[in-house]
Amino acid sequence: MLQSFFFLQCTDDRYYRVAIHSFGLGLTHKPDTMIELSSRTKASYTYVKDWMMLRECVAGCLGALQSTSHQNVKLKLKLPEGSPAKFVKISGALQITKRATGRDAEASIGDLRFGDKRDILVQLAIAPDNSSQDQLPQDPWESIVSGLEALGGSLESDEQRTLSIDEVPLLQADLAYSDILRDGTLTHLPRPSLLAITMLPANRPSKQNIRPATPPIPPHPSIVQRRMELLTSDMLTRALTLVGRGQHERAHHLLQETRMILKGLGKGGLPPVPSTTSQSNGGNKPAQSPPRNSAGSTKNGGSRSETPEHHRDHSPHSDASTIGRSGVDTATMHALDGDIEASLEWINHPAVFSRDSRKAVLQAIGVISSQRGYTFRTPSEALWADRIPGVRKLTERSRDWREAGDNALTEE
């Protein structure tokens, strides 16, 4: 009886996941188990250092939950047939799985809330065109024509080349999620989106005319920004590992260096961000290997599947006033820098660090890497909490509640 019941449950494709959000109260708690429970259920850990902030912290969380738009969201990436690309690295999601074939990958994003925006970085390596030519049987006619072209001089062959440009599918992205309005049924976007590029034919060695080298395309500011975020959360994680091994000085040094690099990136002057100004300086441009390309795939969860395409590439803070020279949002930069600075403060005092700062750092890592915030206590939390109107609303409500709450306290 019980078994058959269970069987029915399993065949039903309705599927709810329970997210376990955790709140570490005060300095005494040990965060590790709570963080494990939360991160493995794609939820968040919040450090409530100040007891007085408990109400506001749970308020932000409830506000986020009441703003849920999509559950259990997965970005499904596929290299379609004919794609010359290979996955090099996928980052920025809660969990990433790659199929053994290497042509499919899945990035778990967790739940999306109204107002949410998540950035997943997909780095692809694209083999030069000649590999695909090798696959084609060599057409004798083609070789005769190309021989004549070589004789005919540069002008005609240029024309010929523009004609032979191929459009190649590179990457296909789909979004799968549990539809909360339809009992959690697994749902996909109406159609996956496809990234296709035009491939110029490889220079044949027989031809001596060299195309003027095109300058490398600078990465999109939102890609740089997400890279900075992930760099920050990675380095904070490493610093914690170092501290755990008792290597506080190394951790300190690592974070100092990270700060410097972030500052450089923010100014747009240092590698690996080739900006127009650094090019005019000549000198040390980063060696961006030509076949390598990075594509940022930005998924917007702000509205249900009908998200207009034109929202995708804009960073949420893309008004000109807040954009630094590199195009990276300065508020984000300050938030990241603030988190590193805060973690540095006590890093050389192991006892204080493990009692307090470590928990704050653990929370910051989660906030930055998952782009989710629930309170306005630190700049990085505020940055992401502010995106969700539901979080703003409940935070405000919890502050208004104060007066009523104080009465309750005095009654005690």
Partner 1 sequence: MTLSLSVNELPAFHLLFRDRHQLELWKRAFIDLDNPYPSNRAPQEFEHDTSGTDEDDYSRHTKAKKRVSSVASSYAGVQSVNTAPTEYTASVREPAESRLPPSLHVPLDMVVVIPVSSSMQGLKITLLRDALKFLVQSLGERDRMGLVSFGSSGGGVPLVGMTSKAWGGWNKIFNAIKPVGQKSLRADVVEGANVAMDLLMQRKSANPISNILLISDSSTSDAESVDFVVQRAEAAK
Q: What's the distance, CA 190 to chain centroid?
A: 23
Work out whether 7 is an interface residue with partner 1 (CB under 8 A).
Answer: no
Q: Give the separation between CA 106 and CA 177, rounded to whole angstroms.
A: 12
Q: At what angle do helices 358-370 and 221-244 cross, to 10 degrees?
A: 150
Q: Give the separation between CA 88 and CA 81, rounded to whole angstroms.
A: 18
Work out whether 18 is an interface residue with partner 1 (CB under 8 A).
Answer: yes
Evaluate whether 340 touches 236 at the Cβ level (below 8 Å). yes
Minimum separation from the CB atom of position 290 to partner 1 (A): 41
Work out whether 405 is an interface residue with partner 1 (CB under 8 A).
Answer: yes
Work out whether 341 is an interface residue with partner 1 (CB under 8 A).
Answer: no
Work out whether 362 is an interface residue with partner 1 (CB under 8 A).
Answer: no
| Token pair in block for residue 291 | 């076949």
Minimum separation from the CB atom of position 404 to partner 1 (A): 9
Minimum separation from the CB atom of position 110 to partner 1 (A): 12
Work out whether 26 is an interface residue with partner 1 (CB under 8 A).
Answer: yes
Evaluate whether 290 touches 279 at the Cβ level (below 8 Å). no
Beta-carbon contacts of residue 341 (< 8 Å; ≥ 6 apart) = 259
- Considering beta carbons, is residue 81 or 306 the nearer one to partner 1? 306
| Of 171, 193, 78, the residue nearest 126 (C-alpha) | 171
Work out whether 19 is an interface residue with partner 1 (CB under 8 A).
Answer: yes
Evaluate whether 103 touches 334 at the Cβ level (below 8 Å). no
Work out whether 396 is an interface residue with partner 1 (CB under 8 A).
Answer: no
Work out whether 4 is an interface residue with partner 1 (CB under 8 A).
Answer: no
Quick note: the x/- pattern for partner 1 over 268-307, rule CB under 8 A, is ----------------------------------xxx-x-
Work out whether 69 is an interface residue with partner 1 (CB under 8 A).
Answer: yes
Q: What's the distance, CA 392 to chain centroid?
A: 23
> Residue 19 is which amino acid?
A
Work out whether 202 is an interface residue with partner 1 (CB under 8 A).
Answer: no
Work out whether 108 is an interface residue with partner 1 (CB under 8 A).
Answer: no
Work out whether 132 is an interface residue with partner 1 (CB under 8 A).
Answer: no
Q: Binding partner 1 by CB under 8 A: which of 3, 4, 11, 51?
A: 51
Q: Considering only 57-65, 74-82, 241-249, 367-375, which stretch makes contact with partner 1 by CB under 8 A?
A: 57-65
Minimum separation from the CB atom of position 100 to partner 1 (A): 23
Q: Binding partner 1 by CB under 8 A: which of 47, 71, 242, 353?
A: 71
Q: Residue 314 is inside which H or E element, if any?
A: none
Work out whether 58 is an interface residue with partner 1 (CB under 8 A).
Answer: yes
Evaluate whether 367 touches 64 at the Cβ level (below 8 Å). no
Q: Considering only 64-72, 87-95, 188-196, 245-253, which stretch makes contact with partner 1 by CB under 8 A?
A: 64-72
Beta-carbon contacts of residue 272 (< 8 Å; ≥ 6 apart) = 286, 288
Per-residue DSSP letter, 183: T
CB atoms within 10 A of CB 137: 7
Q: Binding partner 1 by CB under 8 A: which of 49, 54, 201, 207?
A: 54
Residue spans of alpha helices (H) in 268-312: 276-280
In the three-class reduction of DSSP (H, G, I as helix; E, B as strand; rest coil), residue 142 is classed as helix
Q: Give the separation between CA 69 and CA 114, rounded to whole angstroms.
A: 6
Instruction: Summarize as ranges the residues that interact with partner 1 (CB under 8 A).
Output: 9, 12, 14-26, 28-30, 32-34, 36-38, 40-41, 43, 51-52, 54-55, 58-59, 61-62, 65-69, 71, 114, 180-181, 183-184, 302-304, 306, 389-390, 393-394, 397-398, 401, 405, 408-409, 412
